[in-house]
A = this chain, B = another copy of it.
Amino acid sequence: MDDDALALLRLLDAGGASAPRRRLLERCGTPAQALAAGEHAWREAGLVGAQVRALGADTGATACVRDWLAKPGHRLIGWHDPDYPALLRRIQSPPLALFSAGDANLLWHPAVAVVGTRAPTAGGRDHAREFALAIARAGFAVCSGLAAGIDTAAHLAALAGDGATIAVLGSGVDVPYPRANAGLHRDIEARGLVVSEHPPGTAARREHFPARNRIIAGLALGTVVIEAAQRSGALITARLAADAGREVFAVPGSIRNPLARGCHRLIRDGATLVEAADEVTAALAPVAQSLADALRRRLQAPICDPAGASAVPVGAPRQDDPDYQRLWSAIGHDPSPMDQLLERTGLTTAELSSMLLVMELDGRIVLEHGRYYRKS
């Protein structure tokens, strides 16, 4: 186990607000350097007293976590790590690190979240299966929360279709919750990916779930809500997805079905009404393509390398695309929220989202607290 992993565990153990710790990592480059930087640097990054004290004292509480990390297929991916998923980096409060068990490459695979109630109708369960299977067959990973009901149906259908699936837990990555899904948890670890921001061994706690939902929404290009009550975790996931500028899809239902109410509410609030999975995959295909293109460009010509063979000058809009020009002039040096950019450009959410993603990966713009601005 290397120094960075040990230092990152210390940073995680320090607890409290994660923004100062992300800032510290950004300033110092690596967890080991962050830990070595000392109290003055920690305080300058915004760490408060309790965090500074925790970071100063080696609690040694990470022994079982070290054992877990030593096993094959287990990883800890920190904010400083180039493997930290690009899409998750863009949400309002990204986790400081992710524990992952299984195929960590899936973190960079275009994913769609399929979520909903823990107690669906028979019809809702069927819809979850159909949507997840079609989404997986279209080449997207199906991301969900391993919960009973819609989540379970979605993971199972993705596995049944030999597709990729990601389970995001509110417990430690090695703690299946609910217990009844222990078998499914094992299958997903073996054939997909299980992730959590909590250290191995952490029990499921009610207050973890809304935070868990931000990771589900953050890893996915879009979120599909199948059946959901008026107040439910699925609606939280959908709102977090919308806040992060991701497309939200909702499946309508009979006005007699109380579990259609949450979806109807989302539709009234601007989510896209979908009747079939191909509407989801068609809407997300251009975003997925942009993501793939941007990653390819970035790998070929890192923007931090001035000698790089990038075809597009960093910071300049493409001369040949009027939409990009329009967006570039709409983005100023003052941070603008997504809504404002939508209004200024007249683009659709999907178009805007994919263009912003590319510009951000190209290093032309910065996303901070849900607002975009020019880098230079």
Chain A interfacial positions (CB closer than 8 Å to B): 123, 127, 251-257, 260-261, 264, 267-268, 272-273, 275-276
Contact = CB atoms under 8 A, between A and B. Distances in A.
Contacts of A253: 252-255
Contact of A254 (B254, B267, B268): B254
Given A252-B254, A252-B273, A268-B273, 17 more contacts: A123-B254, A123-B256, A252-B252, A252-B253, A252-B255, A252-B264, A252-B267, A253-B254, A253-B255, A254-B254, A254-B257, A255-B275, A255-B276, A261-B275, A264-B275, A267-B267, A273-B273
Contact of A264 (B123, B260, B273): B273
A180 B273 CA distance: 37
Nearest to A279: B268
Contacts of A252: 252-255, 260, 264, 267, 273
A267 B256 contact: no
| This chain: copies in complex | 2
A146 B254 CA distance: 25
A252 B272 CA distance: 13
A254 B130 CA distance: 14
9 contacts: A252-B253, A252-B254, A253-B254, A253-B255, A254-B257, A255-B275, A255-B276, A264-B273, A268-B273
A299 B127 CA distance: 57
A162 to B, nearest CB: 25
A365 B261 CA distance: 41
A127 B257 CA distance: 13
